[in-house]
Structure 1
Amino acid sequence: MAGRHVLLVDDNETDVILAQAALELSGLGAVVSVARDGADALAFLRREGPHASRGTGDPHVVLLDLNMPRMSGLEVLGELRRDARLRHLPVVMLTTSQADGDVYSSYASGANAYVVKPVSFDGTVEAMRTLTAFWVALNNTVGDQG
Protein backbone atom coordinates (compact mmCIF):
# COMPACT_ATOMS: atom_id res chain seq x y z
CA MET A 1 0.00 0.00 0.00
CA ALA A 2 3.05 2.23 0.01
CA GLY A 3 2.54 5.38 -1.98
CA ARG A 4 -1.27 5.30 -1.68
CA HIS A 5 -2.60 8.74 -0.93
CA VAL A 6 -5.92 10.21 0.27
CA LEU A 7 -6.74 13.92 0.27
CA LEU A 8 -9.27 14.72 2.99
CA VAL A 9 -10.97 18.11 2.52
CA ASP A 10 -12.94 19.22 5.56
CA ASP A 11 -13.15 22.39 7.64
CA ASN A 12 -14.43 20.71 10.81
CA GLU A 13 -11.51 19.87 13.12
CA THR A 14 -13.43 17.12 14.94
CA ASP A 15 -14.41 15.46 11.64
CA VAL A 16 -10.79 15.64 10.42
CA ILE A 17 -9.43 14.04 13.60
CA LEU A 18 -12.11 11.36 13.50
CA ALA A 19 -11.50 10.59 9.81
CA GLN A 20 -7.72 10.50 10.27
CA ALA A 21 -8.03 8.09 13.22
CA ALA A 22 -10.49 5.94 11.29
CA LEU A 23 -8.22 5.85 8.24
CA GLU A 24 -5.27 4.86 10.43
CA LEU A 25 -7.34 2.10 12.03
CA SER A 26 -8.39 0.85 8.59
CA GLY A 27 -4.99 -0.87 8.42
CA LEU A 28 -4.49 -0.05 4.75
CA GLY A 29 -1.59 2.31 5.36
CA ALA A 30 -2.63 5.16 3.08
CA VAL A 31 -0.96 8.54 3.51
CA VAL A 32 -3.55 11.19 4.39
CA SER A 33 -3.18 14.85 3.47
CA VAL A 34 -5.67 17.39 4.82
CA ALA A 35 -6.99 20.57 3.24
CA ARG A 36 -9.10 22.75 5.55
CA ASP A 37 -11.31 24.25 2.84
CA GLY A 38 -11.98 24.11 -0.88
CA ALA A 39 -9.51 26.82 -1.84
CA ASP A 40 -6.74 25.04 0.07
CA ALA A 41 -7.68 21.75 -1.64
CA LEU A 42 -7.32 23.30 -5.09
CA ALA A 43 -4.00 24.91 -4.13
CA PHE A 44 -2.80 21.51 -2.88
CA LEU A 45 -3.85 19.69 -6.04
CA ARG A 46 -2.46 22.39 -8.33
CA ARG A 47 0.76 22.74 -6.29
CA GLU A 48 0.20 26.44 -5.70
CA GLY A 49 0.95 28.79 -2.81
CA PRO A 50 1.97 26.90 0.34
CA HIS A 51 1.79 23.61 -1.61
CA ALA A 52 4.06 24.68 -4.48
CA SER A 53 6.90 22.46 -3.29
CA ARG A 54 4.90 19.31 -2.51
CA GLY A 55 6.07 16.14 -4.20
CA THR A 56 4.85 14.68 -7.43
CA GLY A 57 1.82 12.49 -7.76
CA ASP A 58 -1.83 13.09 -7.08
CA PRO A 59 -4.01 11.50 -4.42
CA HIS A 60 -5.74 8.25 -5.33
CA VAL A 61 -9.01 9.69 -4.02
CA VAL A 62 -10.32 13.01 -2.73
CA LEU A 63 -12.74 12.83 0.22
CA LEU A 64 -14.59 16.13 -0.10
CA ASP A 65 -16.92 17.78 2.40
CA LEU A 66 -19.87 19.60 0.88
CA ASN A 67 -20.31 22.64 3.14
CA MET A 68 -17.14 24.64 3.72
CA PRO A 69 -16.12 28.30 3.95
CA ARG A 70 -14.48 30.17 1.06
CA MET A 71 -15.42 27.50 -1.49
CA SER A 72 -18.00 24.74 -1.22
CA GLY A 73 -17.38 21.12 -2.09
CA LEU A 74 -19.55 21.50 -5.20
CA GLU A 75 -17.46 24.46 -6.34
CA VAL A 76 -14.27 22.45 -5.82
CA LEU A 77 -15.74 19.51 -7.70
CA GLY A 78 -16.70 21.78 -10.59
CA GLU A 79 -13.16 23.19 -10.74
CA LEU A 80 -11.66 19.70 -10.71
CA ARG A 81 -13.90 18.48 -13.52
CA ARG A 82 -13.00 21.54 -15.65
CA ASP A 83 -9.25 21.10 -15.08
CA ALA A 84 -7.79 18.78 -17.73
CA ARG A 85 -4.94 17.77 -15.41
CA LEU A 86 -7.17 16.92 -12.43
CA ARG A 87 -10.51 15.77 -13.90
CA HIS A 88 -9.49 12.10 -13.66
CA LEU A 89 -9.28 12.19 -9.85
CA PRO A 90 -11.94 10.13 -8.07
CA VAL A 91 -13.96 12.36 -5.75
CA VAL A 92 -16.12 11.03 -2.94
CA MET A 93 -18.43 13.57 -1.35
CA LEU A 94 -18.20 12.89 2.40
CA THR A 95 -20.79 15.03 4.15
CA THR A 96 -23.48 15.22 6.79
CA SER A 97 -26.13 16.27 4.26
CA GLN A 98 -28.74 13.72 3.29
CA ALA A 99 -30.68 16.21 1.16
CA ASP A 100 -31.74 14.80 -2.21
CA GLY A 101 -30.74 18.07 -3.88
CA ASP A 102 -27.18 17.80 -2.56
CA VAL A 103 -26.90 14.19 -3.69
CA TYR A 104 -28.26 15.03 -7.15
CA SER A 105 -26.05 18.14 -7.52
CA SER A 106 -22.97 16.18 -6.49
CA TYR A 107 -23.50 13.43 -9.04
CA ALA A 108 -24.53 15.92 -11.73
CA SER A 109 -21.26 17.79 -11.09
CA GLY A 110 -19.16 14.64 -11.50
CA ALA A 111 -18.82 13.07 -8.05
CA ASN A 112 -17.85 9.40 -8.11
CA ALA A 113 -19.69 8.63 -4.88
CA TYR A 114 -21.73 10.31 -2.16
CA VAL A 115 -21.31 9.11 1.44
CA VAL A 116 -23.12 10.51 4.48
CA LYS A 117 -20.75 10.80 7.44
CA PRO A 118 -21.63 8.24 10.11
CA VAL A 119 -22.46 9.66 13.54
CA SER A 120 -20.59 7.06 15.61
CA PHE A 121 -16.85 6.45 15.80
CA ASP A 122 -17.32 2.76 14.94
CA GLY A 123 -19.44 3.74 11.95
CA THR A 124 -16.78 6.19 10.83
CA VAL A 125 -14.04 3.56 11.13
CA GLU A 126 -16.09 1.12 9.06
CA ALA A 127 -16.92 3.77 6.45
CA MET A 128 -13.25 4.80 6.15
CA ARG A 129 -12.15 1.16 5.96
CA THR A 130 -14.63 0.51 3.15
CA LEU A 131 -13.86 3.73 1.27
CA THR A 132 -10.12 3.24 1.58
CA ALA A 133 -10.28 -0.42 0.63
CA PHE A 134 -12.16 0.37 -2.56
CA TRP A 135 -10.78 3.72 -3.70
CA VAL A 136 -7.19 3.21 -2.56
CA ALA A 137 -6.57 -0.54 -2.52
CA LEU A 138 -8.88 -1.97 -5.20
CA ASN A 139 -9.68 0.82 -7.63
CA ASN A 140 -7.15 1.21 -10.43
CA THR A 141 -6.45 4.90 -11.10
CA VAL A 142 -4.42 6.83 -13.64
CA GLY A 143 -0.74 6.30 -12.94
CA ASP A 144 -1.18 2.90 -11.25
CA GLN A 145 -0.02 1.04 -14.33
CA GLY A 146 3.40 1.98 -13.64
Structure 2
Amino acid sequence: MSEFPNPYQASNAPLPVLEHPAVPPALLATLACYLAHYALEVASMWRSALGTVELFLPIALVNGIYCLAMCFALWRRWRWARVWLVITTVLSAFVLLMFVRRGMWTTEWLTGLSSLLRIAVVPMLFLPSVRRWFAPRRA
Protein backbone atom coordinates (compact mmCIF):
# COMPACT_ATOMS: atom_id res chain seq x y z
CA MET A 1 0.00 0.00 0.00
CA SER A 2 1.21 3.49 -0.78
CA GLU A 3 0.75 6.50 1.41
CA PHE A 4 -1.42 9.37 0.37
CA PRO A 5 0.38 12.73 -0.02
CA ASN A 6 0.02 15.13 2.85
CA PRO A 7 -2.60 17.73 1.79
CA TYR A 8 -1.16 20.26 4.22
CA GLN A 9 2.36 20.19 2.80
CA ALA A 10 3.41 23.15 0.68
CA SER A 11 3.91 22.56 -3.01
CA ASN A 12 7.42 22.25 -4.38
CA ALA A 13 6.49 23.93 -7.67
CA PRO A 14 8.46 27.10 -8.38
CA LEU A 15 6.53 30.32 -8.19
CA PRO A 16 6.41 32.52 -11.29
CA VAL A 17 8.69 35.50 -11.13
CA LEU A 18 6.79 38.73 -11.61
CA GLU A 19 9.06 41.29 -13.18
CA HIS A 20 8.52 44.89 -12.29
CA PRO A 21 10.12 46.85 -15.09
CA ALA A 22 12.02 49.95 -14.17
CA VAL A 23 10.38 53.29 -14.76
CA PRO A 24 11.54 54.49 -18.19
CA PRO A 25 13.73 57.60 -18.11
CA ALA A 26 11.40 59.26 -20.62
CA LEU A 27 8.53 58.98 -18.12
CA LEU A 28 10.71 60.46 -15.38
CA ALA A 29 11.54 63.36 -17.71
CA THR A 30 7.84 63.77 -18.48
CA LEU A 31 6.97 63.92 -14.79
CA ALA A 32 9.78 66.41 -14.19
CA CYS A 33 8.47 68.62 -17.01
CA TYR A 34 4.95 68.40 -15.60
CA LEU A 35 6.18 69.45 -12.15
CA ALA A 36 8.19 72.29 -13.72
CA HIS A 37 4.99 73.35 -15.50
CA TYR A 38 3.30 73.61 -12.10
CA ALA A 39 6.15 75.70 -10.70
CA LEU A 40 5.95 78.10 -13.65
CA GLU A 41 2.17 78.25 -13.31
CA VAL A 42 2.44 79.19 -9.64
CA ALA A 43 5.05 81.84 -10.45
CA SER A 44 2.83 83.32 -13.16
CA MET A 45 -0.16 83.38 -10.80
CA TRP A 46 1.92 85.19 -8.18
CA ARG A 47 3.00 87.83 -10.72
CA SER A 48 -0.54 88.39 -11.96
CA ALA A 49 -3.49 89.90 -10.13
CA LEU A 50 -3.78 86.77 -7.98
CA GLY A 51 -0.76 87.98 -5.99
CA THR A 52 -2.94 88.51 -2.93
CA VAL A 53 -2.52 85.75 -0.40
CA GLU A 54 -6.28 85.21 0.06
CA LEU A 55 -6.65 84.14 -3.57
CA PHE A 56 -3.21 82.76 -4.30
CA LEU A 57 -2.84 80.15 -1.56
CA PRO A 58 -6.06 78.16 -2.17
CA ILE A 59 -5.60 78.17 -5.94
CA ALA A 60 -1.93 77.15 -5.69
CA LEU A 61 -2.79 74.43 -3.17
CA VAL A 62 -5.56 72.94 -5.32
CA ASN A 63 -3.34 73.07 -8.42
CA GLY A 64 -0.51 71.44 -6.46
CA ILE A 65 -2.72 68.59 -5.25
CA TYR A 66 -3.99 68.08 -8.79
CA CYS A 67 -0.45 68.07 -10.20
CA LEU A 68 0.80 65.57 -7.62
CA ALA A 69 -2.25 63.34 -8.14
CA MET A 70 -1.66 63.32 -11.89
CA CYS A 71 2.04 62.52 -11.43
CA PHE A 72 1.13 59.69 -9.05
CA ALA A 73 -1.46 58.33 -11.49
CA LEU A 74 1.03 58.43 -14.37
CA TRP A 75 3.69 56.75 -12.25
CA ARG A 76 1.20 54.03 -11.25
CA ARG A 77 0.38 53.31 -14.93
CA TRP A 78 -3.23 54.44 -14.80
CA ARG A 79 -4.08 54.84 -18.47
CA TRP A 80 -6.97 57.24 -17.81
CA ALA A 81 -4.45 59.77 -16.46
CA ARG A 82 -2.62 59.89 -19.77
CA VAL A 83 -5.87 60.44 -21.66
CA TRP A 84 -7.04 63.07 -19.17
CA LEU A 85 -3.73 64.92 -19.44
CA VAL A 86 -4.04 65.02 -23.23
CA ILE A 87 -7.60 66.36 -23.02
CA THR A 88 -6.77 69.06 -20.48
CA THR A 89 -3.67 70.10 -22.40
CA VAL A 90 -5.94 71.24 -25.22
CA LEU A 91 -7.05 73.99 -22.82
CA SER A 92 -3.44 75.07 -22.38
CA ALA A 93 -3.06 75.22 -26.14
CA PHE A 94 -6.06 77.54 -26.35
CA VAL A 95 -4.68 79.74 -23.56
CA LEU A 96 -1.37 79.98 -25.38
CA LEU A 97 -3.13 80.80 -28.66
CA MET A 98 -5.16 83.51 -26.91
CA PHE A 99 -2.02 85.07 -25.44
CA VAL A 100 -0.28 85.12 -28.79
CA ARG A 101 -3.28 86.53 -30.65
CA ARG A 102 -3.85 89.30 -28.10
CA GLY A 103 -0.19 90.24 -27.96
CA MET A 104 0.08 89.37 -24.27
CA TRP A 105 3.06 87.07 -24.87
CA THR A 106 5.56 89.70 -23.74
CA THR A 107 3.76 90.67 -20.53
CA GLU A 108 2.60 87.18 -19.50
CA TRP A 109 5.65 85.23 -20.62
CA LEU A 110 5.60 82.93 -17.57
CA THR A 111 2.10 81.78 -18.41
CA GLY A 112 3.08 81.21 -22.03
CA LEU A 113 6.17 79.28 -21.01
CA SER A 114 4.07 77.20 -18.63
CA SER A 115 1.61 76.41 -21.42
CA LEU A 116 4.44 75.48 -23.80
CA LEU A 117 5.93 73.13 -21.21
CA ARG A 118 2.57 71.47 -20.61
CA ILE A 119 2.04 71.06 -24.35
CA ALA A 120 5.52 69.50 -24.59
CA VAL A 121 4.52 66.88 -22.00
CA VAL A 122 1.88 65.36 -24.30
CA PRO A 123 4.22 64.13 -27.06
CA MET A 124 6.50 62.76 -24.36
CA LEU A 125 3.62 60.58 -23.15
CA PHE A 126 3.56 58.87 -26.54
CA LEU A 127 7.24 57.99 -26.81
CA PRO A 128 7.74 54.23 -27.38
CA SER A 129 9.19 53.52 -23.93
CA VAL A 130 6.39 55.43 -22.20
CA ARG A 131 3.75 53.72 -24.34
CA ARG A 132 5.15 50.36 -23.25
CA TRP A 133 4.89 51.55 -19.64
CA PHE A 134 1.14 52.12 -20.09
CA ALA A 135 0.55 48.90 -22.08
CA PRO A 136 -1.76 46.40 -20.36
CA ARG A 137 0.17 44.02 -18.15
CA ARG A 138 0.18 40.35 -18.93
CA ALA A 139 -0.84 37.88 -16.28
TM-score norm. by structure 2 comes to 0.29
- Kindly indicate whether structure 1 or structure 2 has the higher relative contact order, using CA contacts under 8 Å at least 6 residues apart: 2
Give 1 or 2: higher strand fraction.
Answer: 1
Structure having the larger proportion of residues in helix: 2
Structure 1 length as normaliser, TM-score? 0.28
